[in-house]
């Protein structure tokens, strides 16, 4: 059984990002990433600070712009409009969730598609599903980066995805289809989840449900990708019962140290792509 080490994948992509950013610095281009944090969600704050630290570590200027829980939608959109027009800002990342009184879809779609490094605007989602170039959501990109790093082909494979969110499950299914996989999409109303999962050559869980994927759901030798990040008794765990599943699977991602470790680098790669497209 192979551990699909997200830290190794992240390090590989970090080196590429650093080289590309060095080229921009040689051309006296100082690119900036705007991270907008509205409200007081603690996980979002922790992730924003972690992302800022990693970005600055590779030579990308990243600033966190904090707004109160009571911020009005108009002021939030005005900030986004300002960053859309700022030639020194090449990427805009809106941290989620937003305060309840904010229309998240409306706000996200105010971001210029060319600066939407999380790939969540309707424009970028449409580009993904129509096969046109655009930003792809970072967590699905991280899954594909892990598969690529370990030379795991999707052509002709049975891929089963558990979870159908707009941020992970749906775009991930499209990415797999684009790689010539046969995709089965499962969710909370799938009648026989165990039987569906056992068909998978590659099983991906993005349900956010700790312990959801058990050993009896895994075909011997299958590749298991755990996208779930859950807190249980003070520990970070995924959707997969790692110890039991690792006895059956051919390869599996750990949590932590798997998909999550790569996702941050995908944000920065998207930001670099935005610089290359506009510089």
User: Residue 13: what pLDDT?
Assistant: 96
CA–CA separation, 266 and 251 (whole Å): 22
User: Residue 279: what pLDDT?
Assistant: 56
CA–CA separation, 214 and 22 (whole Å): 45
Proportion of the chain above pLDDT 90, given as a percent? 81
- Read off the pLDDT of residues 99-133 as tens digits, 9 standing for 90 and up: 999 999 999 999 999 999 999 999 999 999 998 98
Same domain, 254 and 142: yes
Q: Is 275 annotated as a binding residue?
A: no
CA–CA separation, 161 and 159 (whole Å): 7
Task: Please list, residue by residue across 65-97, b when 16 or more beta carbons sit within 10 angstroms of its beta carbon and e when fewer do.
Answer: eebeeebebeebbebbeebbeeeebbbbbbbbe
- The CATH number that applies at residue 34 is 3.40.50.10860
What Cα–Cα distance (Å) separates residue 3 from each residue in 39, 152, 203, 226, 258? 37, 13, 15, 12, 9
Same domain, 92 and 148: no
Residue 74 covered by a domain: yes
Same domain, 63 and 166: no
Residue 222 covered by a domain: yes
Domain count, the chain: 2
Residue 229 CA, chain-centre distance (Å), reads 12
| 195 against 23, higher pLDDT | 195
Backbone torsions φ then ψ of 182, nearest 5 degrees: -100, 115
Task: Say if residues 108 and 84 touch (Cβ distance below 8 Å).
Answer: no
User: Residue 30: what pLDDT?
Assistant: 78
Q: Residue 248: pLDDT band by 50, 70, 90 thresholds?
A: very high
- Read off the pLDDT of residues 49-108 as tens digits, 9 standing for 90 and up: 999 999 999 988 999 999 999 999 999 999 999 999 998 898 999 999 999 999 999 999
Tell me which residue range forms the domain holding 243.
138-260
Residues whose CB is less than 8 angstroms from the CB of residue 52 and which lie 6 or more positions away in sequence, other chains included:
35, 62, 63, 64
Task: Say if residues 54 and 264 touch (Cβ distance below 8 Å).
Answer: yes
Same domain, 251 and 214: yes
Mean pLDDT lowest among 25-29, 95-99, 164-168, 202-206: 25-29
Structure tokens at 133: 């170039």
What is the pLDDT averaged over residues 130-140? 92
Structure tokens at 6: 């997200």
> Residue 27 carries which DSSP code?
T
| 135 against 278, higher pLDDT | 135
Structure tokens at 131: 């096969």
Pairing assessment for the beta strands 223-226 and 251-252 based on DSSP bridges: parallel
Same domain, 184 and 250: yes
What is the pLDDT averaged over residues 185-208? 95
Q: Is 14 annotated as a binding residue?
A: no
Residue 53 covered by a domain: yes
- Read off the pLDDT of residues 146-182 as tens digits, 9 standing for 90 and up: 999 999 999 999 999 999 998 999 999 999 999 999 9
29 has pLDDT over 80: no
278 has pLDDT over 80: no
Pairing assessment for the beta strands 32-38 and 89-94 based on DSSP bridges: parallel
**Taking the model in full, what pTM does it have?**
0.93
User: Residue 181: what pLDDT?
Assistant: 98
Same domain, 241 and 157: yes
Structure tokens at 129: 């599903």
């Amino acid at each position: 059984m192979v551990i699909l080490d997200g830290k190794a994948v992240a390090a590989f992509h970090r080196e590429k990002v650093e080289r590309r950013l060095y080229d921009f610095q040689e051309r006296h281009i100082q690119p900036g990433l705007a991270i907008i944090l509205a409200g007081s969600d603690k996980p979002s704050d922790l992730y924003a600070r972690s992302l800022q630290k990693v970005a600055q570590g590779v030579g990308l200027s990243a600033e966190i712009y904090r707004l109160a829980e009571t911020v009005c939608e108009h002021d939030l959109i005005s900030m986004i409009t300002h960053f859309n027009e700022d030639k020194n800002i090449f990427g805009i990342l809106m941290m989620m969730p937003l305060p309840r009184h904010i229309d998240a879809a409306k706000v996200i779609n105010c971001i210029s598609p060319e600066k939407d490094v999380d790939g969540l605007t309707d424009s970028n989602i449409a580009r993904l599903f129509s096969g046109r170039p655009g930003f792809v959501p970072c967590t699905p990109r991280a899954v594909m980066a892990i598969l690529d790093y370990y030379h795991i082909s999707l052509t002709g494979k049975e891929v089963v995805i558990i979870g159908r969110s707009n941020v992970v499950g749906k775009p991930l299914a499209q990415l797999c289809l684009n790689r010539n996989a046969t995709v089965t999409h499962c969710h909370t109303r799938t009648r026989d989840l165990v039987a569906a999962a056992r068909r998978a050559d590659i099983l991906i869980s993005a349900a956010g449900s700790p312990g959801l994927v058990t050993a009896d759901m895994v075909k011997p030798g299958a590749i298991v990708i755990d996208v779930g990040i859950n807190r249980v008794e003070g520990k970070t765990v995924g959707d997969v019962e790692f110890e039991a599943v690792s006895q059956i699977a051919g390869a599996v991602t750990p949590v932590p140290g798997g998909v999550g470790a790569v996702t941050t680098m995908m944000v920065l790669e998207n930001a670099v792509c935005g610089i290359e497209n506009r510089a």
